[in-house]
Each structure stands twice: as structure tokens, then as C-alpha cells.
Structure 1
Amino acid sequence: MSEHVLKHPASRGRQVSLDQRIAELRNRKPVDLNHGEGLMLQGIAAASLREQRLAGQIAPED
């Protein structure tokens, strides 16, 4: 599926594929967020998508 490789703090130096990281996150227990944390995460996601769109990594929305 994906050829991307990510490094994240939980990996302790090992590299994992994007598919493996997604599977890890899906298997985690849900965490309650307050409203401020939800807004912060939403802002981070929007900024990330904007950067990817500007870099041409994803197609722009119509």
C-alpha cells in the first residue's frame, strides 16, 4: 500500500512503515480529549494537509 517510512518516539529508533503505524494507532485504546486539545489537533492536521498540498504531495481539493 504505502512505501513511506516513519520514525516516531514510541519506535525507539526502529523504522516502521506508514501502514504499520496506522495499525498501531488503530489498536490503541481511545483517549478522552478536552475541547482545547481537539481544536489543537484539528489545527495541526489542517496545517499538515496545507503543507502537503503546497508541496504538491496531494492533489488540491476542487
Structure 2
Amino acid sequence: MKQIGNLAIVCARRKDVTLRIEQGRVMVLLSGTYAPAAFSAYWDNDETILSIIHELNFGRCASKSQ
């Protein structure tokens, strides 16, 4: 649960990312270059959320403009 706020900040800084939180899950949807890419985790699964954050910041889905 600690990492959901960090995920929200990462997603808010990118125009090509949509963050949805519903029914106990967080969903990150990418549009544009990486479409259709999606990530999903339970809202309190910090380990998986951290891996999503890492993918968005440093992985193949990292923004090229950073």
C-alpha cells in the first residue's frame, strides 16, 4: 500500500499513461508507442507495484523524453 502513491506520481507525469484503481486493483494502461501495454496488481501488493514503477521509469516503457 505504500507504493500506490509513488505509482500515481509516476503516472501523473506522463501523458501516455492512464492509472485506474477499482475493485481492489490498480491498472496502468499505456497508449501510443507501447500500446497496447497494460500492467495490473492488487492495490496493496507493493512488490508488484514497485516493478511497474521500475518498468515505467527504466524499462522498455520508459519515457524517452526524461
Alignment TM-score, normalising by the size of structure 2: 0.30
Higher RCO by CA contacts (8 Å cutoff, separation 6 or greater): 2
Considering fraction of residues, name the structure with more strand. Answer: 2
**Which of these two proteins has the greater Rg computed from alpha carbons?**
1
Q: TM-score when scaled to structure 1?
A: 0.31
